[in-house]
Amino acid sequence: MASSVVAAPLTLTLACNVHEIAHAVTGTLLGWRVARLNLCLFSGGGVEYASSTTRGDNLESAAGGVGAALILGLAWWLVVGRSADRHQPLRWGVGAALAAWIGPQLLVAVLETAAPVGEAYGARIEDRPVTFAGILAVTVLSSVGGHAWLWRRSRRGSPASTLVD
Q: Taking the complete model, does pTM exceed 0.75, yes or no?
A: yes
Name residues whose C-beta falls within 8 Å of residue 23's C-beta, 6 or more positions apart in sequence.
47, 60, 63, 64, 67
Domain containing residue 73: 2-163
28-53 pLDDT tens trace: 999 999 999 999 986 678 898 888 87
Name residues whose C-beta falls within 8 Å of residue 164's C-beta, 6 or more positions apart in sequence.
77, 80, 81, 82, 86, 150, 154
pLDDT at position 17 over 90: yes
Q: How confident is the model at residue 10 (pLDDT cuts 50, 70, 90)?
A: confident
120-157 pLDDT tens trace: 777 778 888 898 899 999 999 999 999 888 877 777 66
| Domain total in the chain | 1
Is-contact 62 109, C-beta < 8 A? yes
Q: Using CA of residue 18, residue 119, residue 109, residue 131, what is the dihedral sign?
A: positive
Is-contact 29 35, C-beta < 8 A? no
Is-contact 19 44, C-beta < 8 A? no
Backbone angles phi, psi at 47, to 5 degrees: -125, 130
